[in-house]
Chains A and B, each alone.
Chain A
Amino acid sequence: MTSTSKTDVFRAGYLPGLRDDEVHWKRLQLGAPNDPLTVEVPELSTDQIKTLASRVRLASQAHLKSWPVSDIVRTIDTAIARLLNAQDPYRQALERLLPRATGFDATMVQLGLNSYLQTFRALQLQRFVTEDFANPKLLDEFQARPKGGWSKAIGPDLLVHVWAGNVPALPLWSFVSGLLVKAGAIGKISSSEPIFASLFARLLVEVEPRWADCFAVVWWQGGDKDVERCVFAEADVVLAYGGNTALRGMQDRMPVTARFLPHGHKLSFGMVSNTALSVFRGQATAHAAALDVARYDQQGCYSPHEFYVQRGGQMQPLEFAQHLASELAALATKFARRTLTLEEAASVGGWREHHEFESLRQARHRVLGDASQAFAVVYADTPQPLQPGPLNRCVLVVAVDSLQDVIPLIEPQRAYLQTVGLAAAPEELLALGDALGQAGVTRICALGAMTSPEAGWHHDGRFSLLDLVRMVDIDQSAELAAERFTGYEL
């Protein structure tokens, strides 16, 4: 499973039909300086990639396209159940390797994995499918349409994933989406988290050996023009996560005939209504907000950069900020922040300094906590436009008179908006939802749930499965015409 864990070298990837000695392996150094992890990633030639692609395409025809979705769901469920079992060697490998590769706190990774994997059990997967296909049998066979004629949804022969590594196990979403639409897949792991997808592919094959050639997990240096052109030329659909610059590069290398589904830079934030700031609830609200900030050190696209907090509750925005700071201090003990690189530290330091300067000008602008703590909360008493922070548990709390006042503050970031963690009363929910949606937000969730999207969510406002397939219609005319070509036609 893990090739050489004893010597602390993890060989990443899953390459059906290729022997290890046929492949050139590149060594990457991951992890903190005091606990390094060496990972070997495959550097494939374009010929090897082409061979892999045709192998995957053929196998997916034979062993995925012909399977009913419910059997695919059962197989994924079996694999997920194993990953949820603390005794399972794959689970143990994930718990050992993911914190070391990413630097995230081991307990945080463990807890995060559990809540994440639970959204991929059979029941959730069925819901995932139903979310996009009211009639899931559309994926299995032609279904009669009310208007007449027949339709079927066909997944790509070859789906190429380009995965990001900001949060552990992120590739699972798109890996599973591809399987549910019966796509053969080649997934590119990120240099910063090459672990999960490699192990998941191997586990799936252990659970269902007939899938051995249905997917591959590869690596290339992001931006390698020759490799990307070659891989993308083989693909029907390319699903890519990453920075906008990297995505633009990929787009340039896409053939016009293939579908490109990019997930680029995103910006998320929280909003707290004064209804959530009673003496009884305020503390719990701050606790939930702190969890969203601390989880994966704000590295997710759904992690909040700012909280807009409404004045006029029993707890004032400044008090909320103070509670948030003390909750973050408590979480810093429970889940240690990962060791920051000098560049990240400089970014955090620069952000703090900027706000210190601001506090010299405005007495009501506050930097809470001192620089030695593994988080920073800044309180702003005047409206502040939504801006990305330096991540790593640094958050801005902005006092506002009304949550509707937030809309003009976020509008300039329209193209980047994603999740809003919202603590508000029921009567506020839909009105705010409408305004936020118009402004560009695609997901509104409870505070404390920002980093755990539900199964079947519309990632960046899109359809996880529908976007991958193409519909094939048999028009009514063909059906009617066919009736004329029967032996019994008189």
Chain B
Amino acid sequence: MANGSTTSEDITIELLAFIARPAVSDEEFNALALRIFTRQFALNLPYQRFCQLRGKTPRLVKSWRDIPAVPIDAFKEFTLSCIPAEECERVFMTSGTTRGEVKGRHHHPSLAVYDASMLRHFSEHVMQGDVRLPMGILFPTETLMPNSSLAHYLGLAIQHFGAADSAYYLDQNGLRTAALCDALQKAQQSNQPFALLGASYSFVHLLDELQSRGLSFVLPKGSRILDTGGFKGQSRDIPMDDFYTQLSATFGVDRRQCINMYGMTELSTQFYDAGNRSVPSIKRGPHWMRSRLLDPMTGQEVARGERGVLAHTDLANFNSVTTILTEDVGIATDDGFVLLGRAQGAEAKGCSLAVEDFLKAARA
């Protein structure tokens, strides 16, 4: 049994082996999930109290499905870590767009597991057999944003899978559109497939800028685009279908090669779709990750085919909590889920006042 005496190093070694395997059985996933849960229950007091409140202790939790899902807001309210926070190599923070300045904090004793998880899954879904590609990153570097998990993620991408002439095209001064256009031009002329990666809202800004300059490209076959994160009020909100139509038309990349990554600061593993020929696309996670759709009020799984709020059990989250409850609505499919957006609080009808309206009114 993993318990309080299992060290982060022990778990790390075990997880690296687990991630490296081609596949695992349900029993193997379950066994490791329960061991990590037992350790987290023993070593993290706020989590222990949360589990007790929900009436779940290691004695009662028999399946990974019984592990209490921690609402992502808890990453703002509590320190969720098995080792003292100051001993952690890295803390990723949420961008804090949803609730003022309070930021969620995700503590990582080391990034070995995070990196292994990212590299294995990225190689499969984004690289698709290519070893290295010239990359353009539409996001600041890790040096500029040391607490951003996305900056680290994109840093790993460029470092491990980027060809020599890969570069960042967004910094303190904004988009480096001219430099990026040169790179795209070059890729176009040399018939060298190119990968453009970045935050969804950066793509929206880029599309706007290219449109105002009347520019578009036809990138060589094999080129791909990866966007992530949605628009988060950082740019104009555009319907998803229009977004991929515009991306495809502006860069000459088939919508099947316009991949969306769904990830969160509170996880250590990402989800990908197989392109966005039609939207919403199906998102899939790797074998060390399982997702369920829950009724947000009761925490029970919803009937198959019904909308629910996504809960993820990510074994790479070995130090914080394996199982988190998101605010994202989805529907389960055979091998993944479709993301339908955020579970925004319901608007009150008429003159009664519900929280969300009130917040809106207060912000107005």
A residues with a Cβ closer than 8 A to B are 164-167, 170, 190, 192, 241-245, 263-267, 298-301, 303, 305, 340-354, 356-357, 359-360, 371-372, 387-391, 416
Contacts and interface: CB of A to CB of B under 8 A. Distances in A.
Contacts of A388: 353-355, 357-358
Interface centre among B46, B71, B296 (most CB of A within 10 A): B296
A342 B77 contact: no
Contacts of B327: 346, 350
Contacts of B346: 341, 343-344, 346-347
Interface centre among B49, B349, B360 (most CB of A within 10 A): B349
11 contacts: A167-B350, A244-B364, A263-B351, A342-B329, A349-B296, A349-B297, A349-B299, A350-B296, A350-B327, A350-B345, A391-B348
B52 to A, nearest CB: 9
Contact of B351 (A166, A305, A347, A387): A166
Contacts of A359: 53
Contact of A371 (B297, B343, B353, B355): B297
A372 B358 contact: no
Contacts of A170: 350
Interface string B229-244: 0000000000000000
Contacts of B53: 356, 359-360
B329 to A, nearest CB: 6
A452 B82 CA distance: 54
Contacts of B74: 353, 357
Interface string B36-74: 000000000010011001000000000000000001011
A356 B360 CA distance: 24
Given A357-B73, A357-B78, A391 B297 contact: no
Contacts of A389: 355
Nearest to B294: A349
A166 B349 contact: yes
Given A342-B296, A343-B343, A356-B50, A242 B364 contact: no
B97 to A, nearest CB: 17
Contacts of B298: 371-372
A360 B355 contact: no
Contacts of A298: 352
Given A346-B309, A346-B345, A348-B297, A190 B71 contact: no
A256 B298 CA distance: 50
A262 to B, nearest CB: 10
B356 interface: yes
Contacts of A264: 351
Contacts of B354: 347, 388, 390-391
Nearest to B359: A388
Given A350-B345, A357-B77, A164 B360 contact: no
Interface string B271-302: 00000000000000000000000011111100
Given A245-B360, A265-B361, A345-B295, A299 B352 contact: yes
Given A167-B350, A344-B346, A346-B297, 17 more contacts: A165-B349, A166-B349, A241-B351, A243-B350, A245-B360, A245-B361, A263-B351, A265-B352, A266-B351, A342-B295, A342-B307, A345-B295, A345-B296, A347-B355, A349-B297, A360-B78, A388-B354
Nearest to A244: B361
B309 A342 contact: yes
Interface string B111-147: 0000000000000000000000000000000000000
Contact of A390 (B329, B344, B355, B364): B355
Given A343-B344, A343-B346, A243 B49 contact: no
A47 B281 CA distance: 44
B297 A299 contact: no
B77 A242 contact: no
B347 interface: yes
B162 interface: no
Contacts of B352: 166, 265-266, 298-301, 303, 391
Contacts of A391: 348, 352, 354
Interface centre among A244, A264, A298 (most CB of B within 10 A): A244
B73 A353 contact: yes
B60 to A, nearest CB: 15
Contacts of A372: 298, 300
Interface in B6-44: none
B49 A360 contact: yes
A346 B358 CA distance: 16
Contacts of B73: 350, 353-354, 357
Given A245-B364, A345-B296, A357-B73, A266 B353 contact: yes
Interface string B68-97: 000101100110000000000000000000
A353 B78 CA distance: 13
Contacts of B347: 243
Contacts of A348: 296-297
Interface centre among B300, B344, B347, B361 (most CB of A within 10 A): B361
Contact of B345 (A300, A305, A347, A357): A347
A345 B299 CA distance: 10
B104 interface: no
Nearest to B327: A346
A389 to B, nearest CB: 7
Contact of B356 (A266, A342, A347, A360): A347
A190 B350 CA distance: 9
B355 A192 contact: no
B50 A371 contact: no
A299 B348 CA distance: 8
A19 B349 CA distance: 31
